[in-house]
Amino acid sequence: MGAEEERHLYFVIRSLVLGLVSGILFLSFVWLLGTVDFGKAVAISILVFVASLFISRLFDAPITSVVRRILRLLEKREKLRKLILRYL
């Protein structure tokens, strides 16, 4: 795996992990509030975006280690790695 391919794969996997964190935060807010209209959804989205930035900086080392572990697993699965690189 080349350096450029590894960087691209690292970026894609890290984005997926942080997207999952943001999704979990958003769903947690919706679950706590019950129903959400458009105004609340926009406010929650802004809050979740700021929180995800904070979480990504606060937990940079653990997130990086999780992403590196995923990359090591993908080294053994070339078809899955190429699929991710092609479509994500």
Distance CA 84, CA 86 (A): 5
pLDDT score at 3 = 85
Whether the per-residue pLDDT at 1 is higher than 70: the answer is: no
pLDDT score at 6 = 87
Distance CA 18, CA 23 (A): 9
Distance CA 30, CA 33 (A): 5
Model confidence over 3-54: pLDDT tens digits? 888 899 999 999 999 999 999 999 998 899 888 899 988 999 999 999 999 9
Region 65-87: mean pLDDT is 91
